[in-house]
Structure 1
């Protein structure tokens, strides 16, 4: 006797129509990402900035030197980017119909403006271009095949599985030199954003410190900001040779080429800022163990500062961003995002005796971890 076909709960008319609309959104979200990529490639945020932060569609067309026939299409793209929160519509203080076709920068699009020299302005265009690159999207498209594979030993990320290279590794340059440079630039911009906020909100983090090593500190942007705000702190940057070779020799920051898995320069404190979420729990323990070797006892002021995403149980856009970043780490690296319990377990496994979550700033948590 054939088994009965499973039944399904039929949605109400209103639920069915809403479900279809939601399905459209989820299926087509990639067009928002591609629209954002397009806006950056065209230079739209920078063009609006050059107009003083607000401009009309015709003026934007002229500034971008786009064919007049494309104006209606650009208007449609801008409309969806306004709806998704990338840009704002209208003037700052007026809601008249005459200003309905104006587009202006908001906090999100301001961090996509290039060519601006200002404290704490770190353009995020490289991060977006890397995250929406064909290499990233192709890895994500291979997720279903990756899940089906029964792989013995360490499980490679979908990125590694598809491309045969590991992100943030020398093999990335062998895969594509332009991608490697874009990823390096995007990572630096991403990591440096918000350091001023951290120093203002967590000023005591650097109180009494004499020396600090910024692991994976890139060109020293964060270290120089710390030294500027706290001249008594002697900062050292540890990063890979390919990064250190391009770092400025300004005499303010000491640069050391190396690998944090093998050795960390000795200092009173070590900083890991948005580093550990790229690595597995096992690798995080190895990294933290090297950091522990580099610092003195807690009584002598020794500590490791971990600044990283802390997933919480709240709802809303920030929580959604945390979860999307977690899947991004799954697709592109062997890392993941962690809640406070996960972080506590890693600190303990690495041999630390105590920690304190100093503050949660947006998605980031600022930890002091004590030997």
Structure 2
């Protein structure tokens, strides 16, 4: 019996290695579904759609897609529960439909992850992952080893990459903003002015100001980023560098900013945040992942994947609460509280030390 159990365990171990080795296939199939707008086609058709109907809508019907290849991609995505398939009782063609997962791939939905699927699986984002072992041996930044410069420098020189990055960040801002606005009302309602540090094209701050029109909103990011930002009522766009100075406001909000940087760099940013807010009643609102090593929540596993994404694309990392506490104290914020929201991220509300 022991030998049989050992053989089964070894066989499962082998199967796991095969699965992880080819896990990139899931991401590539997902990316192709977004590029082909399969979810949008099914949605616009009102639901259950045959493969030939999907194929006829690809590329606006101007070309004849390879329906066999499409079927093979869909077969994997159905197995991964991204889409579902029905077998008609009359023996007709299979009918493909959306699931709760594929509804997040609709391009025109207010809550979509389609742009960040395209961003994270673009070829320029993939190259740094091949330098992990070299970084272990020699140290250094994976992205820089791949391209000779850091992500922000490459994006600033390449408008197409800059747009891809901004679109990806904007769609996550909408998803996270929805969770913030529904679960953090008490934390926002009393703020008179709020600066979004690293706010990209202003998606987050514009929605906050729309909900709280008494608030003065400031969207603060690098000049080449805010140059692409649309006009929003109640929001001013300011270009600058958070490592030098941050515009003054009653409070600072940062969504997915500090995880891009080392502890030392985070402390420098936080010290600039402290200078920008009042000594009394000022606060910094940090929207980030909090790693839980034994966590079993719906997003806890993704946090550890995101930590390696940070390693691949920046010089930053995801952090545990103890690690957040350390950099907050270093930046002059000895008190904080964590507010859980229905999202991949949590809110860390930090208060400046008295002078």
**TM-score relative to the length of structure 1:** 0.86
Aligned with 1:157 (options 134, 141, 157): 141
SS of the residue 1:277 aligns to: helix
Q: Against the structure 1 CA distance between its residues 68 and 15, is the aligned structure 2 distance closer, same or farther, given a 3 Å change threshold?
A: farther
Q: Against the structure 1 CA distance between its residues 220 and 349, is the aligned structure 2 distance closer, same or farther, given a 3 Å change threshold?
A: same
The aligned residue for residue 171 of structure 1 is 154
Name stretches of at least 5 consecutive residues in structure 1 with no aligned partner: 1-8, 150-154
SS of the residue 2:42 aligns to: helix
- How many residue pairs get matched? 347
Provide runs of 4+ in structure 1 moved above 6 Å. 66-69
Deviations 1:1-47 (A, max 9, x none): xxxxxxxx997232233222222211110111111111122121221
SS of the residue 1:199 aligns to: helix
Q: CA deviation at 1:98?
A: 5.6
SS of the residue 2:29 aligns to: helix
Distance 2:169 2:65 in 1: 37
- Contact preservation (8 Å) 2:183, 2:341: no
Aligned with 1:370 (options 345, 351, 355): 351
- Contact preservation (8 Å) 2:213, 2:234: no
Matches within 5 A, 1:89-104: 89-90=85-86, 101-104=94-97
Deviating more after overlay: 44-53 vs 207-216? 44-53
CA RMSD of aligned residues (A): 2.4
Q: CA deviation at 1:211?
A: 0.9
SS of the residue 1:79 aligns to: helix
Distance 2:269 2:342 in 1: 24
SS of the residue 1:12 aligns to: helix
1:356 lines up with 2:340 in the alignment = no
Q: Against the structure 1 CA distance between its residues 86 and 34, is the aligned structure 2 distance closer, same or farther, given a 3 Å change threshold?
A: same
The aligned residue for residue 57 of structure 2 is 63
- Contact preservation (8 Å) 1:90, 1:99: no
Q: Against the structure 1 CA distance between its residues 28 and 206, is the aligned structure 2 distance closer, same or farther, given a 3 Å change threshold?
A: same
Q: CA deviation at 1:246?
A: 2.1
1:80 lines up with 2:76 in the alignment = yes
Q: CA deviation at 1:61?
A: 1.3
SS of the residue 1:255 aligns to: strand
Q: Against the structure 1 CA distance between its residues 286 and 18, is the aligned structure 2 distance closer, same or farther, given a 3 Å change threshold?
A: same
Distance 1:58 1:317 in 2: 36
**TM-score relative to the length of structure 2:** 0.90
The aligned residue for residue 246 of structure 1 is 228
Name stretches of at least 5 consecutive residues in structure 2 with no aligned partner: none
The aligned residue for residue 306 of structure 2 is 325
1:279 lines up with 2:261 in the alignment = yes
SS of the residue 1:194 aligns to: helix
Deviations 1:103-162 (A, max 9, x none): 22233322322245xxxx14332311221122222211222233222xxxxx53211111
The aligned residue for residue 135 of structure 2 is 146
- Contact preservation (8 Å) 1:310, 1:363: no
Distance 1:246 1:107 in 2: 32
Distance 1:194 1:96 in 2: 42
Deviations 1:48-104 (A, max 9, x none): 22112432212111111497683233222112112223223339xxx9586893222
The aligned residue for residue 3 of structure 1 is none
- Contact preservation (8 Å) 1:202, 1:359: no
1:22 lines up with 2:16 in the alignment = yes
